[in-house]
Amino acid sequence: MKNAIHKSFSLAAAAFALFAGGAFADIRAVTPVPWDGDPACWQMKRHAEKMGAVTNGGAKVVFIGDSITHFWETKGKVQWKKYFASGRRAALNLGTSGDRTEHVLWRITEGGELDGYEAKCILLMIGTNNTGHHTFAEEPPVDTILGVKRILDVIAEKQPGARTILTAIFPRGADANDPLRRRNNIVNKEIAKFADGGKVVWCDFTDRFLDGEGRLSRELFPDLLHPDAAGYEIWASAVVPLIDKILAAPADEAIPSVWPSAPCIYSTAANLSAEPVSGFPDFLWWGKGRPLEKRNEIVGNGPVEYDLVMVGDSITHRWEREGGEGRELFAELRKKYRVLNLGYGGDQTRHLIWRLANGELEGYKAKLFQVMIGTNNRDRDPAETAAGIKRVLEIIEEKHPESKILLLPIFPRGAAAADKKRVQNEKVNAIIRNLADGDRIAWLDFNERFFNAEGQLTKEVMNDLLHPNENGYKIWLDAIMPVLREYCGDR
């Protein structure tokens, strides 16, 4: 069967200028960085002061963070004296104003602030300056999340006998719609997954700072960022019971996390298929999985223009996955074109929306996006799945106005045309083909190429009747190559 290209587009041949800003070889949020390189800067002087306490034996209880932690020594000094200045909770304050995750990483790696003593309880809150000091494009939430994860990893390396109380980033801004608060909320929802009940305990009491509408009071946070004495009292009352449990508990005793007593206010979509929801279930994904791999790939290339960015689920992932059936063909494709693969096994539309909205569209430009998603939406109403795909297209258009989009139908699944899941996918396809607009978005349907003469899907092209094998990926590659040649050049 020949390809059906519906409402195709044409790319103008125009000079392309990369966005402003230099390339950086590492994800900033996970790369240890001192403040400004000046040994006489006030932060370095504070570091030297704290190292005096470190070399003098450190402490069993250690607070790590930014100005919000630092200000226990000023705005919260009464509470610090009351709860943390002496006795078994006598603590070391390693908060430094202005710190981002990369600065904390420098202090606890090259700086040595966790070296030479044995802590039992470490309290970590960091990240609000990552959002406050950089734009979303410069540092999306995914980078901040990875930065917090790296700090936890270093703490575990430096202080293997300690437990960490990971505290939610405090709310900032007047209400729940504040853009920096929303970014912090995204980070909080993900870093909460790092708690394991053993070495890392989650502590979120931020609801105690807010009223029923999610508003932050200036009586508690005069600048809508830093708590005053009453705010530090709330903080102390939340963590003291946890600290006491940790100090008294055997190493193998589980410590329960603290969750908000009232629901946090997050914006949600009425349609679950179009609501951004992270598909990363736990810390293993964030620590060693594909999110870190993909951000390293994007950031490591520096500002770049990709010829093709593929977004999708496992069917797209298997172009490059170790042992994936499309791996050899993908390697050949990348010899000719610069390609970024953003396929993740198991993703539904809502998971892809989360990824695209929170970091995986930042740091590069692209000539062409290829979108194929939806088979994992399972029993959702076809109109809901189509709305999720529409939202994927909208996010790409918002963040990459320079790019064109090649929209593919959901691939067939199941042997027979009457297979319930195949019927479901075809209902979605009938809707989304109309999203092609004749300008930015093209529709390319080559699904019939996967069928035999009787309209059956066979194991000759999909071993499990869902994921293409090498023959199936060859069909896919042959179908998109004319599009690549037309819009990205014949190479």
Six-digit token string for 127: 């990240």
pLDDT reported for residue 22: 35
Under the banding of pLDDT at 50, 70 and 90, the label for residue 267 is very low
Six-digit token string for 272: 């679950």
Q: Is 464 a catalytic residue?
A: yes
Structure confidence by residue, pLDDT tens digits, 76-106? 999 999 999 999 999 999 999 999 999 999 9
Structure confidence by residue, pLDDT tens digits, 36-47? 878 889 999 999
Region 233-256 average pLDDT: 95
Q: How far is CA 62 from the centre of its chain?
A: 28
Report CA dihedral (388, 393, 398, 399) to the nearest 10 degrees.
100
Asked whether residue 481 carries a pLDDT value surpassing 80, the answer given is yes
Identified catalytic residue from 47, 70, 351, 467: 467
Decide the pairing of beta strands 339-343 and 305-312. parallel
Q: Is 21 exposed, middle or buried (0-12, 13-18, 19+ CB in 10 A)?
A: exposed
**Cα(first)–Cα(last) distance of the chain, in Å?**
25
**28-248 under CATH 3.30.930.10, yes or no:** no
Under the banding of pLDDT at 50, 70 and 90, the label for residue 270 is low
Asked whether residue 460 carries a pLDDT value surpassing 80, the answer given is yes
Asked whether residue 323 carries a pLDDT value surpassing 90, the answer given is no
Identified catalytic residue from 223, 252, 379, 464: 464
Residue of 163, 170, 159, 186 whose CA lies nearest to 129: 170
pLDDT reported for residue 329: 97
Of all residues in the chain, what percent carry a pLDDT higher than 70? 91
Residues in the chain: 491
Residue 75 CA to residue 133 CA, distance in Å, equals 22
Six-digit token string for 261: 């007593």
Of all residues in the chain, what percent carry a pLDDT higher than 90? 81
Enter the DSSP assignment of 210.
B
Enter the DSSP assignment of 411.
P
9 — phi, psi (to 5°)? -125, 170
User: Are 407 and 393 spatial neighbours (Cβ–Cβ below 8 Å)?
Assistant: yes
Cα Rg, the chain, nearest whole Å:
25
Asked whether residue 4 carries a pLDDT value surpassing 90, the answer given is no
- The better pLDDT of the pair 37, 446 is held by 446
Identified catalytic residue from 314, 381, 419, 437: 314
What pTM, to 2 d.p., does this model score?
0.90
Residue of 6, 76, 1 whose CA lies nearest to 435: 6
Residue 222 CA to residue 246 CA, distance in Å, equals 32
Query: What is the second-level CATH architecture of the domain 4-19+271-488?
Result: 3-Layer(aba) Sandwich (3.40)
Residue 299 CA to residue 150 CA, distance in Å, equals 17
Residue 361 CA to residue 294 CA, distance in Å, equals 11
Asked whether residue 439 carries a pLDDT value surpassing 90, the answer given is no
How do the domains of the chain map onto residue ranges? Answer: 4-19+271-488, 28-248
Same fold, 4-19+271-488 and 28-248: yes
Around Cβ 200, how many Cβ atoms within 10 Å? 23
Asked whether residue 20 carries a pLDDT value surpassing 90, the answer given is no
Under the banding of pLDDT at 50, 70 and 90, the label for residue 197 is confident
Q: Which residue(s) pair with 258 in the sheet?
A: 203
Asked whether residue 7 carries a pLDDT value surpassing 90, the answer given is no
Q: How far is CA 416 from the centre of its chain?
A: 38
